Amino acid sequence: MKKSLFFPAEWHPQSGVQVTWPHRDTDWKENLGEVTGCYVAFSKEILQREKLLVACRDTGEVSAHFTAGERVNLLLHELPSNDTWTRDHGGVGLFNEGRPLLVDFGFNGWGLKFAANHDNQITRYLYERSAYRQDVSYRNRLDFILEGGSIETDGAGTLLTTSRCLLSPNRNGALNREQVEEQLKLTLGVERVLWLDHGFLEGDDTDSHVDTLARFCDEETIAYVACDDEEDIHHGELREMERELKAFVTSSGEPYRLLPLPMADALYHEGRRLPATYANFLIINGAVLMPFYGSPKDGVAKRQLQLAFPEREVIGIDCRPLIKQSGSLHCVTMQLPAGFL
């Protein structure tokens, strides 16, 4: 079965992006206006280039934010939700012998930290409502807890992940590293898994999702968070993570081209440091949307990402509203490969 499965990289041509829209009964209730503004901003960039599939409480309320031209690419479905972190409760798009396959993994609120009873059903509900194309098949893997933010693929058989997340006892605690790796290979069709044992961001609820730390930009390039400030709490862990990345090799045996992204300036909300990171960018058709945090480092990070994506427009999105709930741009979105919508 493994040979027939293809897990495309994020830069693979896309049919659209899926999001779950914030509402007053989510954790966004205190800053719903500003976070909705952030959603509208990045959604407009997506709608210029591809479809946007939205699970929401009120389709009319969401639709009102967009022009008639933008609504051509807007697909709305009213569904209940606990929160809005689509990267982690959304289905993962694969191809099985060339045909689109949506794999629905279990989501348990990042290791039983938060309620996820509604979010864990969104993918199945959307499939049952024919939100995807008719030739998309559905695979139920709700027995295996796996968040989209915890895995990175190069589209060529290599998966990058972190041991702190995937080996968390409150996810798949009965499985050891070898067994988790076998599940990843079996279900995603990958041939090898690169494990990061170091790297974290203070204030992070995800147990070190890889999409906050290190990202494939192509088969030979990894962008990653680097911290040069020896006084920063992250310095030692991110230095060790960098050493791990330098020891990794591509499937052809060559060292990766590594592009350091600056450690974002410290941001605080209600007295706690937030896990702001420039690694939480989203690749879409023809562009890369990246988080900005109102800092001079925004420009530094943008220039680094432009090196990784010279043929794509790199667009900054003010994600200060998002980071107040400990996530950013990639966390609230899930790309769907061409042929899914």
Query: How does pLDDT run across 249-308, given as a tens digit for each residue?
Result: 999 999 999 999 999 999 999 999 999 999 999 999 999 999 999 999 999 999 999 999
Q: How far apart, in whole angstroms, are the C-alpha atoms of residue 91 and residue 276?
A: 25
Q: How far apart, in whole angstroms, are the C-alpha atoms of residue 310 and residue 217?
A: 11
pLDDT at 167: 97
pLDDT at 3: 62
Q: 218: which DSSP letter?
A: E
Distance (Å) of CA 184 to CA 33, 181, 295 = 39, 5, 38
Task: Determine the number of helices (DSSP H) and then strands (DSSP E) in the chain.
Answer: 12, 19
Structure tokens at 94: 């694969």
Q: 286: which DSSP letter?
A: T
Distance (Å) of CA 221 to CA 165, 193, 217, 309 = 23, 16, 5, 10
- Of 302 and 3, the structure prediction assigns the larger pLDDT to 302
| 8 A C-beta contact, residue 210 and residue 245 | no
Average pLDDT over every residue of 132-154: 97
Q: How far apart, in whole angstroms, are the C-alpha atoms of residue 183 and residue 283?
A: 26
| 8 A C-beta contact, residue 161 and residue 153 | no
* Residue 1 clears pLDDT 80, i.e. is over it: no
Domains and CATH numbers, the chain: 2-337 (3.75.10.10)
Q: Give the model confidence (pLDDT) of 27-75 as tens digits.
A: 999 999 999 999 999 999 999 999 999 999 999 999 999 999 999 999 9
Average pLDDT over every residue of 166-180: 96
